[in-house]
Amino acid sequence: MTAFSSYITDNQPRFVDELIDFLHIPSVSAKSDYKQHCVKAAQFLIDEFNRLGLETTLVETPGNPLVLANYKASNDAPTILIYGHYDVQPEEPLDLWETPPFEPTIRGGNIYGRGSTDDKGQLYAHIKAIESLLQTDGALPCNVKFLIEGEEEVAGENLENFIKNNHELLKADIAIISDTSQFAPDMPAICYGLRGICAVEIRVDAAQSDLHSGSFGGAVPNPCNTLCDIISQLKDADGRILIPGFYDNALDLEEWEREEFASLPWNEENFIDQLGVPDLHGEKGYSALERKWARPTLDVNGIFGGYSGEGDKTIIPAWAGAKITMRLVPNQKPTAILGLFRKYVEKIAPDYIKLTIDEHGGGGPVLVPRSAAFMEEAVEALKFGFGREPSFIREGGSIPIVSTIYEELGLNTLLLGFGLPDDNAHAPNEKFSLRDYQRGILTSARFIQQIGKTTQHN
């Protein structure tokens, strides 16, 4: 047993008490009158980093402050950038919480409270790892930079602006984020791929106002029907997207990935039952897990036009619209895809209607190659912390900070999720397993130690 392992075991009760103090602060970024609590949470971190002897900076922004903490080992040592966020989701609906969201409570080996898994608990695990190494080894074998924001849950732009303007300050060799989860209980995972996204709104206009469907029907275009015609030409019956060039740059799955995904304890029948869908549907030739993690999509998120109230209203609507998002896989660029979308839809739209396409922007996909720096150390650290080799997984959603870190700082990010898929992030009774908290601390400490060793050997 390593020295830091014993320290972590011995100090676990205090580590839990400190996390409880952190969770007591209702740092809900979505509520403007909770601003003082967000500032208090930031100050809580600054005080803790100061106690540990790191160099700290509270960076004021137009919104909630950023917290920076820096540990300098040496100029030669590699540098880890650890990202986290101290803000939390709103606590509503309150009546569904078994214990109050900001009065953290321990039940059945879990700590319940808003922010316990997302992201205070997972972030604090890294801080306690630093403490454990410093207290047992006296120093860290590599440089560590913490970058912690207070506006993750409201998609604030202040962090992105800060990163854009502080490339030198944030220079590092690898980034780490613990804001996701294990694949399943006792199944640690490294999420090495995220999909990108681009969003668009299309609108079809015909007459200046709604028309009587009796007096005018048959003579004039119907924007609802035309919108359906356009949307139905975006994908074929097998779920393949028909926009020319759409797949040109889309990186296909490698054989090892398909094997890895197929080996996971994931079952389409269970998935169907859980969602209550009559059946699954999507691009032919790929399993459902492959499709939702690693294949691009085109989905209507909303459609609207004409009358939607009770009964009937015999009109030809003046206009109709739809919101569409496309999920992108590595090597697809949001701007390019939006351009292809526009070109195709403008081509297929008939001349008898007026078409408007509003591009709502997007974010790029992420792929951390298996050969990326420190990937092996991460695998070893998770195995050390959780007692089991991690799975390599992807995630179908987007984590904008990961793209920003890659695009602005040129860094790969290792997504080391310590939580569980059923930790109720964004929901009532959010929780974090005390065991996972401890395993997270062990993993983080081991990773930092391993990186230091690796470099010393080089």
Joined together, the tokens standing for residue 139 give: 């120093």
Please, what is the minimum distance in Å from the beta carbon of residue 370 to a second copy? 23
- Kindly tell me which residue out of 28, 46, 125, 227 binds a second copy, with binding defined by CB under 8 A: 227
312 binds a second copy (CB under 8 A): yes
- Kindly tell me which residue out of 288, 336, 340, 357 binds a second copy, with binding defined by CB under 8 A: 288
- Kindly tell me which residue out of 53, 100, 217, 244 binds a second copy, with binding defined by CB under 8 A: 217
Please, what is the minimum distance in Å from the beta carbon of residue 329 to a second copy? 10
- Kindly tell me which residue out of 72, 235, 258, 333 binds a second copy, with binding defined by CB under 8 A: 235
CA distances from 256 to 27, 173, 209, 391 (A): 42, 26, 56, 12
291 binds a second copy (CB under 8 A): yes
Residue spans of beta strands (DSSP E) within 138-289:
143-149, 174-177, 189-194, 196-205, 211-212
Amino acid at position 342, single letter: R
327 binds a second copy (CB under 8 A): yes
Please, what is the minimum distance in Å from the beta carbon of residue 356 to a second copy? 12
Question: Interface residues for a second copy in 347-376 (CB under 8 A)?
Answer: 350-354, 360
**How many CB atoms sit inside 10 A of residue 8's CB?**
24
- Kindly tell me which residue out of 302, 371, 457, 458 binds a second copy, with binding defined by CB under 8 A: 302
Find out whether the peptide bond into 119 is cis, omega within 30 degrees of 0.
yes
Question: By the 8 A CB rule, do 369 and 334 touch?
Answer: no
Rounded to whole angstroms, how far apart are CA atoms 226 and 204? 8
Question: Interface residues for a second copy in 106-125 (CB under 8 A)?
Answer: none
281 binds a second copy (CB under 8 A): yes
By beta-carbon proximity to a second copy, the closer residue of 185 and 214 is 214
Question: By the 8 A CB rule, do 31 and 44 touch?
Answer: no
**How many CB atoms sit inside 10 A of residue 47's CB?**
11
Please, what is the minimum distance in Å from the beta carbon of residue 376 to a second copy? 28
296 binds a second copy (CB under 8 A): yes
Question: Interface residues for a second copy in 389-418 (CB under 8 A)?
Answer: 395-398
- Kindly tell me which residue out of 43, 216, 250, 260 binds a second copy, with binding defined by CB under 8 A: 216
- Convert residues 176-195 into a mask of x (bound to a second copy by CB under 8 A) and - (unbound): -------------------x
Please, what is the minimum distance in Å from the beta carbon of residue 108 to a second copy? 26
Question: Interface residues for a second copy in 137-156 (CB under 8 A)?
Answer: none
**How many CB atoms sit inside 10 A of residue 72's CB?**
14
- Kindly tell me which residue out of 222, 332, 404, 424 binds a second copy, with binding defined by CB under 8 A: 222
By beta-carbon proximity to a second copy, the closer residue of 137 and 306 is 306
Strands 413-416 and 319-328: unpaired
Q: How far is C-alpha 73 from the geometric centre of its chain's CA atoms?
A: 30
Rounded to whole angstroms, how far apart are CA atoms 387 and 365? 31
Q: How far is C-alpha 199 from the geometric centre of its chain's CA atoms?
A: 17
- Kindly tell me which residue out of 40, 157, 247, 282 binds a second copy, with binding defined by CB under 8 A: 282
Choose the binding region for a second copy from 9-17, 119-127, 344-352, 368-376 (rule: CB under 8 A).
344-352
Rounded to whole angstroms, how far apart are CA atoms 79 and 297? 36
66 binds a second copy (CB under 8 A): no
Rounded to whole angstroms, how far apart are CA atoms 406 and 281? 33
Question: By the 8 A CB rule, do 90 and 28 touch?
Answer: yes
**How many CB atoms sit inside 10 A of residue 399's CB?**
20
- Kindly tell me which residue out of 32, 308, 371, 458 binds a second copy, with binding defined by CB under 8 A: 308
Please, what is the minimum distance in Å from the beta carbon of residue 199 to a second copy? 5
Size of the site for a second copy (CB under 8 A): 82
Choose the binding region for a second copy from 92-100, 174-182, 226-234, 408-416 (rule: CB under 8 A).
226-234
Q: Which residues contact residue 383 at a Cβ distance below 8 angstroms, ignoring those fewer than 6 apart?
A: 188, 389, 390
